[in-house]
Amino acid sequence: MLISVLLILFCIYLWFLNKFSYWKKLGFPYSPGKFLLGSGPGIGITEHPSYFVKREYEKFKNSAPAFGAYLMAYPILVPTDPDLIRDIFVRKYDIFQNRGFTVSERADPLSQHLLFKNDDEWKNLRTKLSPTFTSSRMKMMFTNVAAKADRMVEYLMPYAEKNESIEMKEIYSSFSTEIIADVAFGIQIKCLGNPENEFRKMANIVFQPSILENLKLFFLIAFSRTATFLNIGYTNPEIISFFMKIVKETLDYRLKNNLERNDFFQLLMNIYKTDEISFIEFAANSYVFFLAGFETSSSAMMFSSYELALNQDIQGRLRTEINEVIAKHNGKVTYEAIMEMKYLDMVFNESMRKFPIVDLQHRKNLKDYRIPNTNLVIKAGTTIMIPVYCLHNDERFWENPDKFDPERFTSENIKKRHAFCYIPFSEGPRQCIGMRFGQMQTKVGLVKLLLKYKILPCEKTIYPMKFVPNATFQCPVGGMWLKLEKLENS
């Protein structure tokens, strides 16, 4: 018996050794793999993925347009050259059009959304959903967002009056959850001051996964066919049950009462009623709107507030612009006023440069592709991870990248650098469809906050920044602690 077990283990070991020769055979520089664990044994356990990728990126960025690594035994390719990334996103889109996620509807109905769709299924669904994110649709939802921002500002007043430190990550997460519950599910909830709210609990399960959940994710990426055979999905069963129930109940209520609202849920309903999408696609795309809208906005507000607290001159200049623009709009924060705030846009972009929400973006090629001016060939079916965080913090493209400097995003400076070294929302046909809504939500929240308070660091403010190892996206260790000071005449 013991000999049989040892023989099996030895065979597994030899299989891993063979897998770990993949990049060497193709001629790519690579980060070597370790038995069972791959190139980054501490990813999601002792360090955040962005740290591992950045460390390896720095080793190889000047020697090749891409380098290889291993997720468990699974080979992944990490481009370091913006020209190659432009080919992947735009010039050779027909080859790199898919993200490569595959999961059965039976195993995970909530994964049947736009983000995970491939080929013509993605194209058809994107065409149906695109009209829901036009400027006119954004204006329709603006009032809902502004009302939630007003509630957040009022909720924070006692903390400012008592000069107390505030964990702003929870504040912004609650603010975003209230908005998404409203516009994506048509439900009025109050998360601020109520961390036990069911929506907040669900968000925590998604964005603060356990080590076991992270290992499951790695398995799904590395062994997708096996995972499909075993009926394993990306989404936690508790999450599936909660959101399927919410969508079904809300849909039934609106249909029964002939109720219509100016929100994303209504726009999906209109498509659903014409039989252009199934109920599962309806539920899945409501869910992905929750994922994208929640994390993009809450994290962007959190990191923007962090940098504004550490850079009071920038905060002062931004507040001046806000007051000047609002004065032109009869003292009101309107959609048009937000769109006029150029420095606000620069601050937002610089925050997304330093702390991109999606630090790795996925693609998988449909056929072999030889990288121009090299003998390196990306074999068909390769999982490609675009290192957004690395590109955004690379001194080759950004002078003194650790410095927070919105001036990088003047129209003149934008023209001076490679267009594909700043890609927070991806680029090309698969650019984030909800980008404008996420930006609007973030900017409205920041404007309302800065009209009322000065944002300050406190004794608990983390510096330098350090990310939680097992968080889905970049999240500060210990939370984001800041202080607010009420402005005179506010």
Known binding-site residues for heme equal 432
162-201 burial, b at 16+ Cβ within 10 Å, e below that, comes to: eeebbebbbbbbbbbbbbbbbbbbbeebebbeeeebebbe
How many other C-beta atoms lie within 10 A of the C-beta of residue 86?
18
CA distances to 143, 172, 193, 352, 482 from 189, rounded to whole Å, are 16, 15, 11, 28, 25
Residue 14 to residue 12: CA distance in whole angstroms: 5
Q: What is the helix, strand, coil percentage profile of the chain, to 5?
A: 55, 10, 35
Residue 441 to residue 436: CA distance in whole angstroms: 9
Residues annotated as binding site? Answer: 432
Chain length of the chain? 490
What's 472's DSSP letter? S
Instruction: Look at residue 453 and give its three-state secondary structure.
Output: strand
Residue 160 to residue 153: CA distance in whole angstroms: 10
* Two tokens, residue 410: 């003047």
The one-letter code for the residue type at 279 is F
Is 70 within 8 Å of 33 (Cβ atoms)?
Answer: yes
308: Cβ–Cβ under 8 A, 6 or more apart, which residues?
A: 314, 315, 318, 347, 450, 455
The one-letter code for the residue type at 447 is V
Positive or negative CA dihedral for 376, 380, 383, 386?
Answer: positive
